[in-house]
A and B are shown apart, each in its own frame.
Chain A
Amino acid sequence: MALEKGRINSTGLIMLIFGFAVGSSALAPSGRIAGADAWIAILIGIAEALLIAAVFLLLTKRFPGKTLVEISDIVYGPYLGKIISVIFLWYLFHLGSLVLGNYTGYFSSLFLVRTPPIVLLASIILICVSAAKKGIEVITRCGVIIVSVGLFFYLLTTFFLSKYFEIKYLQPVLTTPAPQLLWAAHGAATFPLAETVAFLMVFPFLNNKRDTVPATFTGIIFTGLVMTGVAVRNTVVLGPSEKAYIYPSFHAITTINIAEIINRVEIVASLFILCMGFLKTAVLLYGVSLGTAQLCSLRSYRPLVVPVAVLMSILALYNFPNPVEFVRFVNNAYPVYALPFQLVIPLLTLIIAVIRKTEQRDGNSEPKGRRPPTESKRR
Chain B
Amino acid sequence: MRLFPTTEKKNKKLCLLLMSLLIIVVLFSGCWDWMELNDITIISGIGLDETEEQGKIRLTVQVIRPDALSGGGGDTGGTKGGGGLGGDETQAVRLLTTTGETVFQAIRNLGTQASHRLFLSHTHVVVISREAAEKGIYRFIDFFARDTEPRPNIRVLIAEREAGEIMRHASGVESIPALGLYRAVQTAALNALAPDITLQDAKIRLASETTELVAPLTKLYVEEGIDGEKKTRVDVAGTAVFRGDKMVGTLNKKETRGLHWILDKVKTGIIVIEHAGGKQSLEIVKAESKITPEIRDNELVVKIKLDVNTILGDQQCVKILTEPDEIALLEEKQTAEIRTEITGAIKKAQELKADIFGFGDEFHRKYPEQWKKLEQHWVELFPGIKIELEIKSDIKGTGAIREPVYRLR
Q: Which residues of A contact B (CB under 8 A)?
A: 109-116, 119-120, 123, 168, 171-172, 175, 238-241, 243-244, 251, 254-255, 257, 263-264
Contacts and interface: CB of A to CB of B under 8 A. Distances in A.
Interface in B145-165: 145, 148, 151-153
Contacts of B33: 111-115
Interface of B: 27-28, 30-33, 121, 145, 148, 151-153, 200, 203-204, 206-209, 361, 364-366, 368, 371
B361 A244 contact: no
Nearest to B364: A172
12 contacts: A112-B31, A112-B33, A115-B31, A171-B365, A172-B371, A240-B207, A240-B208, A241-B203, A241-B206, A244-B203, A264-B121, A264-B151
B32 A112 contact: yes
Nearest to B358: A168
Contact of B361 (A113, A123, A168, A175): A168
A241 B31 contact: no
A255 B204 contact: no
A123 B23 CA distance: 10
A175 B370 CA distance: 12
Nearest to A245: B145
Contacts, number: 59
Contacts of A119: 27, 31-32
Contacts of A238: 204
The 3 closest A-B pairs by CB, nearest first: A115-B31, A172-B368, A241-B207
Q: Is the interface of B mostly helix, strand, loop or mixed?
A: helix
Given A240-B204, A254-B151, A255-B200, A172 B31 contact: no
Contacts of B364: 172
A110 B148 contact: yes
B178 to A, nearest CB: 15
Contacts of A175: 368
Contacts of A240: 204, 207-209
Query: Which residue among A112, A123, A241, A254 has the maximum number of chain B CB atoms within 10 Å of its CB?
Result: A241
Given A114-B32, A168-B365, A254 B152 contact: yes
B207 A244 contact: yes
B317 to A, nearest CB: 42
B204 A112 contact: no
A85 B203 CA distance: 49
Contacts of B145: 244
Contacts of A171: 365
Given A112-B33, A244-B145, A239 B208 contact: yes
Contacts of B153: 255, 257, 263
Given A115-B32, A172-B368, A239-B208, A123 B152 contact: no
Given A171-B365, A263-B153, 20 more contacts: A111-B148, A115-B32, A115-B33, A119-B27, A123-B27, A123-B28, A168-B365, A172-B371, A239-B204, A240-B204, A240-B208, A241-B200, A241-B204, A241-B206, A241-B207, A244-B145, A244-B207, A255-B152, A255-B153, A264-B121
A36 to B, nearest CB: 10
A239 to B, nearest CB: 5
A163 B204 CA distance: 16
Contacts of A116: 32
Contacts of B206: 241
B368 A239 contact: no
Nearest to B199: A255
Contacts of B366: 172
Contacts of A123: 27-28
A116 B365 CA distance: 46
Contacts of B152: 251, 254-255
A110 B148 CA distance: 6
Contacts of B361: 168
A257 B121 CA distance: 14
A244 B144 CA distance: 13
Contacts of A257: 153
A240 B365 CA distance: 13
Contacts of A264: 121, 151
A134 to B, nearest CB: 14
Contacts of B151: 254, 263-264
A238 B207 CA distance: 10
Nearest to A122: B27
Query: Which residue among A110, A112, A116 has the maximum number of chain B CB atoms within 10 Å of its CB?
Result: A112
Nearest to A110: B148
Query: Which residue among B121, B148, B151 has the maximum number of chain A CB atoms within 10 Å of its CB?
Result: B148
Contacts of A120: 31
B364 to A, nearest CB: 6
Contacts of B30: 112
A238 B203 CA distance: 9
B190 to A, nearest CB: 15
B365 A172 contact: yes
Nearest to A254: B152
A206 B31 CA distance: 40
A255 B28 CA distance: 25
A116 to B, nearest CB: 7
Query: Which residue among A110, A240, A254, A264 has the maximum number of chain B CB atoms within 10 Å of its CB?
Result: A240
Nearest to B210: A240
A195 B28 CA distance: 31
Contacts of B365: 168, 171-172
